[in-house]
Chains A and B, each alone.
Chain A
Amino acid sequence: QKEVEQDPGPLSVPEGAIVSLNCTYSNSAFQYFMWYRQYSRKGPELLMYTYSSGNKEDGRFTAQVDKSSKYISLFIRDSQPSDSATYLCAMSEVRNTDKLIFGTGTRLQVFP
């Protein structure tokens, strides 16, 4: 079993839809949770970063962490074609500068 599980998709939605992306994990020591966006032929770009359980909102993006269920989510409101990319969840244990454990990534396509 992988430490971090993520549905690879692809996920195809119309413009304006609410998108829900999810990851589950097995290592209860994870404390730092991140979402990265990766466009084709580019490196991962940090979208959201949270420490421990709770919610965090930034514009159209909301990240949720439920440590009791070992489950994290990223919601994208009013999705745009420019949101079409691969979304990677990542986690680390002791501190955020530690090695990151990534999910496989979910490919999202938002069509006009």
Chain B
Amino acid sequence: DAGVTQSPTHLIKTRGQQVTLRCSPKSGHDTVSWYQQALGQGPQFIFQYYEEEERQRGNFPDRFSGHQFPNYSSELNVNALLLGDSALYLCASSLQRQLNQPQHFGDGTRLSIL
């Protein structure tokens, strides 16, 4: 049973560029959430996708956008990259109707901005 998978594992970009990160949820899950984890901090919620729509959003600017595909996989896009966007980006998946099963995380994509 495959868990949450994310690609790529590492990425180096320069300021002003754009980046796309990818996530495949755990088998059977239909909801994907994205989190940003800065060094030495806990993860911060970016947004959540369910039924191909953004359902909830955290306190992140519009430079952060996403998409969910019919197979429940998801992409996180970040435009006009800033040095402060350097972080570990985590994807978590869950099943909406299953109230007692919390979110499962992938190992993340480590994004470095030069």
Write the residues of chain A forming the contact surface with B, with a CB cutoff of 8 angstroms. 4, 6, 8, 32, 34, 36, 41-46, 49, 51, 88, 90, 95-105
Contacts and interface: CB of A to CB of B under 8 A. Distances in A.
Given A43-B90, A44-B90, A101-B45, A96 B40 contact: no
Interface of B is mostly: loop
Interface in B15-66: 31, 33, 35, 40-45, 48, 56, 58
B101 A96 contact: yes
B40 A97 contact: no
Nearest to A33: B102
Interface string B88-112: 0010101110111111111110100
Contacts of B43: 44, 88, 100, 102
A4 B44 CA distance: 12
